[in-house]
Amino acid sequence: MEKILKPMSGYLTLVICLVLFIASIYLFAIGVDRNITFVVLSIIIFIVFCFFLKGLMIIQPNHSRVLNFFGKYVGTVKDNGLFFINPLYSSQRISLRSENLQGQTLKVNDKMGNPIEIAVVIVWKVGDTYKAAFDVERYSDFVKMQSEAAVRHLAMSFPYDNLEDDHAPITLREGGEKINAILEQELTERLSKAGIIIQEARISHLAYASEIAGAMLQRQQATAIVAARTKIVEGAVGMVDLALKKLSEENIVELDDERKAAMVSNLMVVLCGEKAATPILNAGTLYN
């Protein structure tokens, strides 16, 4: 579990290091000409200087240091500035800044088995430095691999659209925020073991694979045409029914079944035709 440390300020140690360094140089300079004891003392002071200098640590904003003491986790420093720690500690730098992951375009099968292309953009950052440092080998590679696995699982869990599954509550194309929320939830579950926080996850590319894109486009167009024709026929039937009722109620003309059939046929041609109908004047009767 992550443990936050508050180390002492390193400014006093920095001053001490400067004094030791100057003293070491001065004693070495006077010892060369006068007494070898000063040279030995200068070497000892320089070693002490190096020891204290190793304990100085600078942490930039939104960065951290994970400290170990001979293989034992000591704690994490998240404060910014100059600090002094035990020189025997080993440290590992871990950035706390948000990072973008532009996933590569993957070719997978959706729930209905159709090959599709999908890519996502993920915004993430390290939340638990202990897990990021010790529970996984390389947390950045872990994020990439698990993100790809989550995207593949998402694509196989839902159909691309509702052309083949009319009763699908959520589709990849029309799911919108619901699909993004499901993706964020799955990424959070997969990456929590590495101490990663998912801030945002969105689909950046979604399309049918190139080998079936043309056929699916024709299918979508045919579906749209059929739906439009259905609406036109429903409207035309209603208008014909209304016309027949009006003629009957107002006694404008009496029509037998054959004349009604002819009238219905003509009205349906006029109302459902793609082009404007060309009227033809009939000088005779329906029976001659």
Same domain assignment for residues 65 and 133: no
Asked if 115 and 209 touch (Cβ cutoff 8 Å), the reply is yes
Q: Which are the contacts of 124, defined by CB distance < 8 A and separation ≥ 6?
A: 98, 99, 101, 143, 187, 191, 196, 197, 198, 199
Could you tell me if residue 287 is inside a domain?
no
Checking if the pLDDT of 252 tops 90, the result is no
Q: What is the pLDDT of residue 28?
A: 83
Same domain assignment for residues 167 and 258: no
Same domain assignment for residues 54 and 148: no
Residue where a domain terminates, one of 76, 92, 108: 92
Same domain assignment for residues 195 and 226: no
Q: How many domains does the chain have?
A: 3
Same domain assignment for residues 102 and 131: yes
Please report where in the chains the tokens 């939340």 appear, as a residue.
127
Same domain assignment for residues 88 and 106: no
- The overall average pLDDT reported for the chain is 82
Same domain assignment for residues 149 and 228: no
Checking if the pLDDT of 218 tops 70, the result is no
Report which of residues 12 and 267 the model is more confident about.
Answer: 12
Same domain assignment for residues 238 and 173: no
Q: What is the pLDDT of residue 216?
A: 61
pLDDT-derived band at 269 (thresholds 50, 70, 90) equals low
Name 83's bridge partners. Answer: 9, 57
Q: What is the pLDDT of residue 278?
A: 63
The range of the structural domain enclosing residue 42 comes to 10-92
User: H-type helices in 74-209, by residue range?
Assistant: 129-130, 139-157, 177-191
pLDDT-derived band at 97 (thresholds 50, 70, 90) equals very high
pLDDT-derived band at 272 (thresholds 50, 70, 90) equals low
Q: What is the pLDDT of residue 47?
A: 93
Q: What is the pLDDT of residue 32?
A: 67
Report which of residues 212 and 56 the model is more confident about.
Answer: 56
Q: What is the pLDDT of residue 147?
A: 92
Mean pLDDT of 205-229: 67
pLDDT in tens, 126-137: 999 999 999 998
Q: Would you state the structure tokens that stand for residue 246, as one six-digit string?
A: 């009006």
Measure Cα distances from 29 to 43, 160, 180 in Å. Answer: 11, 79, 69
Task: Give the Cα separation of 125 and 202 in Å (integer).
Answer: 16
Q: What is the pLDDT of residue 63?
A: 94
Evaluate if pTM is beyond 0.85.
Answer: no
Same domain assignment for residues 258 and 206: no
Same domain assignment for residues 150 and 246: no
